[in-house]
């Protein structure tokens, strides 16, 4: 009888612990909370740019007026592509887009042409950590 009581107590404790663990992965309505690996998402975005994977780029892109072709055009510049490849997720800086916190990637190039005229160019990508993963929400290019 003692063994049965001990087993029932252990089972009750295990079920209680399991219930608490499940609560940590559910919202207030009992729906599962999805957790995203934004670092892996950023690596996937960079890989898609390098491999010219338009489907993946467009899947991650929510920026108005921008598509995979335009993004790939920006990164045809070897200096911009080199900077993108070298950037880690932890290197992205906190910024703001229409009052929403976003993570910013920036690549800039400066120099002078053969006539001595100085130039500067830049590409700025803004990512949002959304409920469906890391999404590109805005793109700025200058130069």
State the pLDDT at residue 39.
96
Examine the domain organization and report whether 114 and 85 are in the same domain.
yes
Examine the domain organization and report whether 108 and 42 are in the same domain.
yes
Total number of domains constituting the chain: 2
Torsions phi, psi of 94, nearest 5?
-75, 130
Examine the domain organization and report whether 63 and 5 are in the same domain.
no
Compute the chain's Rg from CA coordinates: 23
* Mean per-residue pLDDT over the chain, rounded: 82
Examine the domain organization and report whether 28 and 65 are in the same domain.
no
* Domain housing 69: 36-142
> How sure is the predictor about 46, in pLDDT bands with cuts at 50, 70 and 90?
very high
CA distance 71 to 61: 10
pLDDT tens figures, 62-115: 999 999 999 999 999 999 999 999 999 999 999 999 999 999 999 998 887 888
Q: Tell me whether residue 106 is exposed, middle or buried, using C-beta atoms within 10 angstroms of its C-beta: 0 to 12, 13 to 18, 19 or more.
A: middle
End-to-end Cα distance, the chain: 82
User: Biggest alpha carbon distance in the chain?
Assistant: 96
CATH number for the domain including 62? 3.10.450
């Amino acid at each position: 009888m003692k063994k049965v009581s001990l087993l029932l107590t252990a089972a009750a404790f295990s079920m209680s612990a399991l219930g608490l663990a499940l609560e940590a992965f559910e919202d207030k309505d009992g729906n599962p909370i999805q957790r995203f690996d934004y670092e892996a998402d950023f690596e996937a975005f960079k890989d898609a740019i390098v491999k010219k994977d338009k489907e993946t780029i467009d899947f991650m892109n929510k920026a108005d007026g921008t598509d995979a072709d335009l993004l790939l055009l920006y990164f045809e510049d070897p200096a911009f592509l080199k900077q993108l490849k070298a950037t880690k997720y932890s290197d992205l800086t906190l910024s703001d887009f229409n009052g929403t916190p976003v993570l910013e990637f920036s690549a800039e190039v400066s120099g002078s042409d053969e006539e001595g005229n100085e130039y500067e160019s830049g590409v700025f990508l803004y990512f949002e950590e959304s409920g469906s993963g890391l999404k590109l929400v805005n793109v700025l290019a200058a130069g």
